[in-house]
């Protein structure tokens, strides 16, 4: 069993669509499930994480992934205070088809928050090179896919770990990207909070299914001197979270379909669940929550 999954009584499922709102409270990054944020407010949200929208998927596990994405977008749009940014942690499409990217764009353009940051998943580069993805989302990175930016005192780093798979199926960043990251972080104050987002988990959740990133340790070594690091991933369509010192690792649920927990069954992939259970499996509440003003009852574990 992955850590933190299905274990905490507090991790009840309340949401109908995936997504997580992140805010800054006293300089500490905090996470709140989107559904709760929509109904109760979270102060000033910094950004929302969406993941694994898989536009184009239409099988039994969820015949209408556009509808569940729209429900997620409605939740974001109905937040009392709009976040500044949206981060999408990959698998925007299911098969990298141009028409899937077009449809994804149409859905995502409904977001009232217009600043969208993305990183590709392996489903966004089935064409081999990721050309279709980079043509549409590569401007911020000069066609590389990985890039960084600052917002509200936080340094955001979008990394790509789906271009160089290692034997066994683990993701990898590769030497060029690691060299770029070292350069990007050099001279930066260690007190600046970092938010790192990439598609595949940046710690090994289940190696047999490739749920990890072979050279993630090198990224973590480069960020070790920083006082607050949040690592946000997708790929596995379920919440798994761990905290190591001042680093919190978090994987998001999908807006499209659930996957089995690590090692349950012969292989990963779309998991068919009862129709009335699906919204709960796409639900978003399994994020542990740091104390927030007015939301003390939701407090469980600090995210950062």
Output the smallest distance, CB 95 to other proteins, in A. 4
With binding defined as CB under 8 A, does residue 169 bind other proteins? yes
With binding defined as CB under 8 A, does residue 132 bind other proteins? no
Output the smallest distance, CB 75 to other proteins, in A. 26
With binding defined as CB under 8 A, does residue 23 bind other proteins? no
SS3 per residue for the chain: CCCCCCCCCCCCCCCCCCCEEEEEECCEEEEEEHHHHHHHCCCCEEEEEECCCCECECCCCCCCHHHHHHHHHHHHHCCCCCCCEEEECCCCECCCCHHHHHHHHHHHCCCCCCCEEECCCHHHHCCCCCHHHHHHHCHHHCCCCCEEEEECCEEEEECCCECCCCCCCCEECCHHHHHHHHHHHCCCCCCCCEEEECCCCCCCCEHHHCECECCHHHHHHHCCCCCCEEEEECCCCCCEEEEECCEEEEECCCCCCCCCCCCCCCCCCCCCCCCCCHHHHCCCCCCCECCCCCCHHHECCCCC
Q: Pick out residues in 30-89 that bind other proteins (CB under 8 A).
A: 59-61
With binding defined as CB under 8 A, does residue 167 bind other proteins? yes
**CB nearer other proteins, residue 210 or residue 283:** 210
**CB nearer other proteins, residue 67 or residue 272:** 272
Output the smallest distance, CB 88 to other proteins, in A. 19
Instruction: Give the separation between CA 72 and CA 130, rounded to whole angstroms.
Output: 26
Output the smallest distance, CB 163 to other proteins, in A. 11
Q: Of residues 123, 199, 253, 281, which one binds other proteins by CB under 8 A? A: 123
Instruction: Give the separation between CA 32 and CA 37, rounded to whole angstroms.
Output: 6
**CB nearer other proteins, residue 147 or residue 173:** 173
With binding defined as CB under 8 A, does residue 267 bind other proteins? yes
Q: Which single residue is written with the structure tokens 């184009």?
A: 56
Instruction: Give the separation between CA 162 and CA 234, rounded to whole angstroms.
Output: 12
Output the smallest distance, CB 172 to other proteins, in A. 11
Output the smallest distance, CB 199 to other proteins, in A. 12
Q: Of residues 17, 41, 53, 122, which one binds other proteins by CB under 8 A? A: 122
Question: Phi, psi (5° rounding) for residue 122?
Answer: -65, -25
Binding mask 91-110 for other proteins (x = CB under 8 A): ---xxx--------------
**CB nearer other proteins, residue 112 or residue 166:** 166
Output the smallest distance, CB 46 to other proteins, in A. 33
Output the smallest distance, CB 266 to other proteins, in A. 4
With binding defined as CB under 8 A, does residue 166 bind other proteins? yes
The token pair at 27 is: 């300089």
With binding defined as CB under 8 A, does residue 274 bind other proteins? no
Of the ranges 23-31, 78-86, 164-172, 173-181, which one interacts with other proteins (CB under 8 A)? 164-172
With binding defined as CB under 8 A, does residue 168 bind other proteins? yes
State the number of binding residues for other proteins (CB under 8 A): 23
Binding site for other proteins (CB under 8 A): 59-61, 94-96, 122-123, 126-128, 165-169, 209-210, 266-270
């Amino acid at each position: 069993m992955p850590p933190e999954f299905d274990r905490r009584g507090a991790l009840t499922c309340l949401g109908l669509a995936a997504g997580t709102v992140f805010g800054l409270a006293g300089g500490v990054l905090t996470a709140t499930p989107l559904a709760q944020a929509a109904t109760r407010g979270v102060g000033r949200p910094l950004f929302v994480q969406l993941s694994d929208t898989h536009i184009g998927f239409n099988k039994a596990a969820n015949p209408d992934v556009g509808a569940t994405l729209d429900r997620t977008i409605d939740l974001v749009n109905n937040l009392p205070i709009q976040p500044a940014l949206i981060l999408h942690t990959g698998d925007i499409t299911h098969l990298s088809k141009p028409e899937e990217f077009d449809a994804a764009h149409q859905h995502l353009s409904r977001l009232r928050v217009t600043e969208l940051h993305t990183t590709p998943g392996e489903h966004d580069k089935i064409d081999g090179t990721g050309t279709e993805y980079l043509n549409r989302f590569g401007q911020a990175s000069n066609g590389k896919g990985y890039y960084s930016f600052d917002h509200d005192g936080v340094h955001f780093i979008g990394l790509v770990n789906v271009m160089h798979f290692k034997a066994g199926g683990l993701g990898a960043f590769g030497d060029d990207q690691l060299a770029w990251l070292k350069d990007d972080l050099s001279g930066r104050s260690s007190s600046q909070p970092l938010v790192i987002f990439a598609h595949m988990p940046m710690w090994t959740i289940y190696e047999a299914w490739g749920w990890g990133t072979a050279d993630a340790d090198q990224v973590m070594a480069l960020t070790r001197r920083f006082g607050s690091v949040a690592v946000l991933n997708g790929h596995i369509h379920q919440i798994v979270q761990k905290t190591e010192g001042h680093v919190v690792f978090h994987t998001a649920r999908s807006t499209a379909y659930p996957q089995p927990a690590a090692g349950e069954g012969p292989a990963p992939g779309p998991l068919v669940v009862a129709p009335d259970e699906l919204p709960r499996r796409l639900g978003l509440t399994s994020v542990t929550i740091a104390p927030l003003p007015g939301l003390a009852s939701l407090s469980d574990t600090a995210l950062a």
